[in-house]
Amino acid sequence: MVTLKDLAKEVGVSVATVSRVLNNSGYASPEMRKRVMQAAERMNYKPNEVARALNTSRSNIIGVLVPDISNPYFPKVIRGIEDEAIKNNYRILIGNTDHDFDKESKYLEIFNQNNCAGIISATWTVTRQDNLTTRPVVLLDRVVKEHISIEADNLKGGKLQAHHLIQQGVHHVLLIKGLEDYSSFENRTLGSREVLGENQVPYEILSHTALNGTLESGDIAFLEKFDGIICPNDLVAYRVLNVLINHGVSVPDQVKVIGYDNLDFSQYVYPSLTTIEQPIYQLGRNAFKMLMKMNQGIEVESEVLDVKLIKRNST
Amino acid sequence: MVTLKDLAKEVGVSVATVSRVLNNSGYASPEMRKRVMQAAERMNYKPNEVARALNTSRSNIIGVLVPDISNPYFPKVIRGIEDEAIKNNYRILIGNTDHDFDKESKYLEIFNQNNCAGIISATWTVTRQDNLTTRPVVLLDRVVKEHISIEADNLKGGKLQAHHLIQQGVHHVLLIKGLEDYSSFENRTLGSREVLGENQVPYEILSHTALNGTLESGDIAFLEKFDGIICPNDLVAYRVLNVLINHGVSVPDQVKVIGYDNLDFSQYVYPSLTTIEQPIYQLGRNAFKMLMKMNQGIEVESEVLDVKLIKRNST
DNA sequence: TTGTATGCGTTATCAG
DNA sequence: CTGATAACGCATACAA
């Protein structure tokens, strides 16, 4: 590996001068600048980021926390973050937390140990961790007050779900709740309930975990009590559709199902899934941009991106 | 951040001693060991990985190259790598190459600049890059001779695809080829052709790119010439199924479709997709294990994992 | 068995 | 405008 010292020797100057030229910091005569730049080019010099990170106590790596990268929602977010990061000469270190406080804690420690420049987290407990650094944190799709976050409009999304079902003429709704304690899921539920209530449409709430039991036991009798089912995300909707169809329940005639996220696959399931689209990729990109601003000391505010209904054949 | 020096001061010994105890290198009296360990615990000392990486010219980060993390095949691979990595106190840095030689080249440079301990690459051109380091590389699902790699048995997979279709009584097959120059796709095609030939089943080959044209134009007449379609992966199969179904072609009665990968969604598409399952997660885990062995100077051989047919309703 | 000193590759603070 | 030089936090060869 060619180092600053090699370069300096080649040009016949001190490392200090070379460093200044390369970083555009401090003075350097135009002529000097030219000589150094050319030599750097010629020798294909690339600064060692480890040394730089040690010296400045700040690497160009940002930590990214997700519950599980296998969940198809996250790769898109990550791709958004990574695209924006690489453009700014940053890299991302990924951690899967599985909603586990201790795992999360460990990753935060790791981010510290690597002098990470910041953190983007899709797992909110991060805000309860006491070894959280002074480095900037952006919460993604998780809102916690006093913290900077970015999300798609979950309240609106939840409303849209209910609105659409009502428009399609449902009279008895099953509202499946997502993960507890996650603002995004709670707000969706809130939005749906609000609209359902306003329209005096009776509904029942089922927790995510209870759903698993229902689905596994294939308790169709229970599901058939409803003519509309609101799912917390597309993944859950796939499973609901699957059980319904396999038991000969006709969708959307007998029961209408609506998802949330608009994953790429939702157009291929049967019947194709009506859902709420959120700008997943954009969420990632913007999160990174916010982080950069925070690093520059610029004041940033939490962002809320828009969502919209995608009508397909399940409703 | 508490450093070695802080710890040393606390215990009242030199940093060297502390370092030796913590790394289990060199001598240290049992008593000294105890005192240091306790202090480390008490002060919650965590070594700075940046400093360590600079000192040893080797970080505990490994670079992972994938074409695009949004492609649902890769998150599982990555999860496998990451799970195994974290267990061994390693972290992963991810790069999306989009099959672009220059992007790939840039990431390799970045891995160097970060003293990465090794590279796992799902993009084969990595072997043509001249700035490839001396650090170990494991190719994942891409085989290039003279390089260490791990893959699922693509030749067998291709054979299984053809075998199954033939068993289901097809007489005229459309064989869709995957990406050019990728050993995995080429071997699948090879396997299928071999079996098709042996059984004297006529077939036509369509390139991945040509398929796009067919699908977009909705050239059903062309597709209807066949009663069996072999797809290079599940993603392509979804699109084929979609066009077929939307045009009223009955699957599997009129034409049978088989995919490859067994992504999680393949059970939810309509009709549910018959496909070849490969141990994606395991591929990632083993790739990391191989890398570790290589780092320890242990001789490792390329691995080939087994695949199997998953019969569903599309055939 | 422990301590001293050096270097890893940079950046930044000083003099000159 | 440029050059020594001291950090950054750790590991290690060598001295004691």
**pLDDT tens, residue by residue, B83-115:** 999 999 999 999 999 999 999 999 999 999 999
CATH of the domain at B93: 3.40.50.2300
Nearest to A54 among B51, B106, B112 (CB): B51
Residues A148 and A284 in one domain: yes
Q: For A5 and C8, how far is CA from C1' in angstroms?
A: 12
Instruction: Give the tokens for residue A214.
Output: 């229902």
pLDDT at A284: 98
Please tell me whether residue B120 adopts helix, strand or coil conformation. strand
Q: In terms of domains, do B268 and B120 share one? A: no
Give the range of the structural domain holding residue B221, as residue numbers without chain letter: 154-277
Q: CA B107 → CA A85, A91, A135, B61, B144, distances in Å? A: 13, 10, 25, 13, 20
Q: Is A22 on the interface with B (CB under 8 A)?
A: no
- Exposed e or buried b for every residue in A127-137, given b needs 16+ CB within 10 A? bebeebbebbb
Residue B312 lies in a domain: no
Determine the nucleotide nearest to B17 by Cα–C1' distance. Answer: C2
Same domain, A88 and A113: yes
Together in a domain, B103 and B132:
yes
A55 within domain boundaries: no
A141 shares its domain with A239 = no
Q: Per residue of chain A (315 residues), what is the pLDDT tens digit?
A: 899 999 999 999 999 999 999 999 888 889 999 999 999 999 999 999 999 999 999 999 999 999 999 999 999 999 999 999 999 999 999 999 999 999 999 999 999 999 999 999 999 887 788 766 678 999 999 999 889 999 999 999 999 999 999 999 999 999 999 998 899 999 999 999 999 999 999 999 999 889 998 888 878 889 999 999 999 999 999 999 999 998 999 999 999 999 999 999 999 998 999 999 999 999 999 999 999 999 999 999 999 999 999 999 999
pLDDT at B128: 82
User: Coil, strand or helix: which one is B129?
Assistant: coil
Q: Which of residues 61-90 of B touch A (CB under 8 A)?
A: 61, 68-70, 72, 74-76, 78-79, 82-83, 86
Residue A294 lies in a domain: yes
Residues 118-147 of A with CB under 7 A from strand C: none
Instruction: Among A48, A79, A96, select the one facing B69 at the smallest CB separation.
Output: A79
Write down the pLDDT at residue B1.
86
In a domain, B53, yes or no: no
B270 and A269 in contact by Cβ < 8 A?
yes
- Residue A84's pLDDT is 98
Structure tokens that stand for B248 in this block: 């009223």
B173 and B142 part of one domain: no
Asked whether residue B137 is domain-assigned, the answer is: yes
B169 and B273 part of one domain: yes
Domain identity same for A94 and A134: yes
- Residue closest to B201 by CA, chosen among B164, B238, B253: B164
Q: Are B161 and B276 in contact (CB under 8 A)?
A: yes
Chains A, B: CB contacts within 8 A come to: 121
Q: Is the CB of A29 under 7 A from strand C?
A: no
Q: What is the pLDDT of residues A208-232, one digit of tens each?
A: 889 998 888 878 889 999 999 999 9
For residues B242 and B284, state if they share a domain. Answer: no
* Cβ atoms of B259 and B73 closer than 8 Å: no
